[in-house]
A and B are shown apart, each in its own frame.
Chain A
Amino acid sequence: MSKPNDLVQGTLDLLILKVLSLEPKHGWAIAKRIQQISKEQLQVQQGSLYPALYRLEQQGWIEADWRASETGRDAKFYSLTTAGRKRLEAELAHWNRLSHAINLVVRTT
């Protein structure tokens, strides 16, 4: 089994937490939302999305329950927990520092 490297994995977690910070969503909607906001630049594959969701749920940062989706069919909706909200803030701060640092290097040299 191949594991995505840390940067990619951490970034996907951040994206999921960020998307869920607005409202609970099911897996499909999370993937679509990331795709839409990134102007189709980011395509989240099912193969990385669901393992990430399960991992985040196990960490206690998101929780899931089954509700009716917009089409009327039951879907598993994920929502952010209090711990998840704190985690999101931490991840955002980390991301801002990291991207700023990378930008500095890329632009200067």
Chain B
Amino acid sequence: MRWTTRAIVAFRSLFRRPRIERELDAELQFHLEQQIAENVAAGMSAAAARAAALRSLGSIAHVKEECRDSLGLRFLDELWQDLRYTGRTLIKAPTFALTAIVTLALGIGANTAIFSVVDGALLHPIPFPNPDRLVAVYGTSTYGDRNGISYPNVLDWQRQNQTFEDLAAWRLDTFTLTGRGRAEHLVGVMVSANLFSALQVHAMVGRTFRPDEDRRGVAPQAMIGEGLWVRRFGRDPQIIGQPLTLNGRVYTVIGVVPSILRLDRAGGSSFANDVFLPIGIYDDPLFLMRGSGGNTRVLARLKPGISLAQAQADMNVVAKNLANAFPESNRSVGVNVMMLEDDASAICAACSGRYSARSVSSC
């Protein structure tokens, strides 16, 4: 048996230990009674039968020890004894114990600190121009301070803020691509038209969305990710202007997004960005409700010379206005503005494929 399985069984046995001990006692007792009964049947007196049975069975304690050993419990018993012995020894030599603990703590702490700095600053910088002006904007509530926000609230944030050059929205979704040979399940992003100007990313081929394409009731346009462009279309520039069927709806391809841009949740996920659609054409009723949970994420670029604190103060005013206007849904919705590079939350923002691992967690 593999040692992992063995460890799991032993660990489980540890928690069921009282039951195991009871069963073991009962089982051995049963065996003893059977032996006594047999001895009595052979003509012995009750007392002699019992004595003979006990003799023939040998040491009960020893048998139990061997059974426990079979279950791997003995290893845990000994481990516990060793740990207690370690504890006693350390308490007896406090100076030594303290020195050892402090040395370890300083060593581990210093390593972690240096690695964090090197990792963020040197290995995985944010790959967009002027990253010191890029921020993530979250909703806050009693449940947390890095929440997504509903789309109607995002539109009001865009209209009412004074401190951002561009305040852009995005959300991940999945799509089924059909009508071009083999159907394929894709992960894509719905983005506001100004996401590209906020991050200062340009289309590799074709163009990005215009603001007038980012609303309901217009002919649907789509961009495709560099990954999909290479994989399915062999880098063919003629893809521009062609139809693309996603979830049964026909879009016209207008551009290709470089893989340097990858919007993703952090925490180890690595969703592809195969297609980009304007978020404004999405007409799901829940998505359009101000009081819905809100899974729209926000990235923004500060106006030149605006500090993080000024932006936060500005957004506090916006949040207050919205709370007054829509008390039902916005009474307890606040805003949290943080530098993209300081945001090591589980919710990611703009990340490059190339730098994904860290920029996911750094944005």
Contacts of A60 in B (CB 8 A): 1
Specify which of A54, A59, A76 is in contact with B30 (CB 8 Å cutoff).
A76
Q: Say yes or no for A101: interface residue by CB 8 A criterion.
A: no
Contacts of A37-69 to chain B: CB distance below 8 A: 45-47, 50-52, 54-55, 58-60, 66, 69
CA distance A50 to B1 in the complex (A): 19
Do residues B27 and A47 form an inter-chain contact, with CB atoms below 8 A? no
CA distance A26 to B30 in the complex (A): 9
For A31, the closest partner residue in chain B by CB is B31
Measured between C-beta atoms, what is the minimum distance from B194 to chain A in Å?
60
The segment from B68-76, B84-92, B157-165 found at the interface with A is B68-76
Specify which of B37, B63, B72 is in contact with A46 (CB 8 Å cutoff).
B63
Contacts of B63 in A (CB 8 A): 46-47, 50-51
Secondary structure type dominating chain B contacts: helix
Do residues B30 and A75 form an inter-chain contact, with CB atoms below 8 A? yes
Report the interface size class on chain B. Answer: 20 to 34
Do residues B23 and A51 form an inter-chain contact, with CB atoms below 8 A? no
Specify which of B24, B30, B59, B70 is in contact with A47 (CB 8 Å cutoff).
B59
Contacts of B101 in A (CB 8 A): none
Contacts of A69 in B (CB 8 A): 30
Count of chain A residues with a beta carbon within 8 Å of a chain B beta carbon: 22
CA distance A45 to B62 in the complex (A): 12
Do residues B62 and A28 form an inter-chain contact, with CB atoms below 8 A? no
Measured between C-beta atoms, what is the minimum distance from A52 to chain B in Å?
8
Contacts of B66 in A (CB 8 A): 1, 47, 50-51
Contacts of A76 in B (CB 8 A): 23, 26-27, 30
Specify which of A54, A74, A75 is in contact with B67 (CB 8 Å cutoff).
A54
Contacts of B27 in A (CB 8 A): 26-27, 50, 75-76
Q: Say yes or no for A107: interface residue by CB 8 A criterion.
A: no
Q: Say yes or no for B57: interface residue by CB 8 A criterion.
A: yes
Contacts of B105 in A (CB 8 A): none
A-B contact pairs, 16 of them (CB 8 A): A47-B58, A47-B59, A47-B63, A50-B24, A50-B66, A51-B66, A51-B67, A51-B69, A54-B70, A58-B1, A58-B70, A58-B71, A58-B72, A60-B1, A71-B37, A74-B26
Closest 8 CB pairs of A and B: A54-B70, A51-B66, A55-B70, A28-B34, A54-B67, A46-B57, A76-B27, A51-B70
